[in-house]
Amino acid sequence: VNRYNNNRVYNSNNLININCKSSKRLPKIRPLPKFLLTNCRSLRNKHEELVARVSSIKPEIIILTETWLDGNIPNGSINISGYNILRKDRNINGGGIALFTCDIYTISNVTCPHIDCKTEILVCRIIESRLFVIIIYHPYWGNSPVHLRVVQHIQNIIDTNIQYNENIIVCGDIN
């Protein structure tokens, strides 16, 4: 079912409800920074296109899935001027996720347990915005037990790490 919200169309079939046990709910919602989320399917050969899009859109936070990067690619070769980067590479055959934030933000990486499938999960806090961000690249589709394990893993990350008065953003590419 397609729904409209602030002149944007979204497919409600792509949304899932994550019930968390945490009692640390927000008393009110803060305005969120401007986000850009894209599946780049190799950042190396689309870096110039990304830089042009960022220059046009001017997002404060950029989330990339399927970066296809590995440890041999230094951050300097994919840098975007005025942004900090945090990334998690798969190091073999595709995958990978990255987060770029305007350099006015402080990023704090959150260590979380590894999930034992080819799913990449990057968890961090964006301090100034009180954002708890979970970025996921989950390449499997059609496997309900694996999907359920990923959702349970996300619930656990939120329940064990969320701080009072934080907004939670869960995004990425979940096939």
pLDDT tens-digit series, residues 98-118: 999 999 999 999 988 777 667
Averaged over 83-111, what is the pLDDT?
91
User: Residue 70 CA to chain centroid, in angstroms?
Assistant: 18
Across the strands, what pairs with 131? 126, 167
- Residue 171's identity, in one-letter code, is C
How many other CB atoms are there within 10 angstroms of residue 98's CB atom?
Answer: 22
CA distance 105 to 60: 9
The residues, any chain, with a CB within 8 Å of residue 146's CB and separated by 6 or more, are: 117, 140
pLDDT tens-digit series, residues 122-157: 999 999 989 999 999 988 766 678 888 888 899 999
pLDDT tens-digit series, residues 19-36: 666 555 545 555 789 999
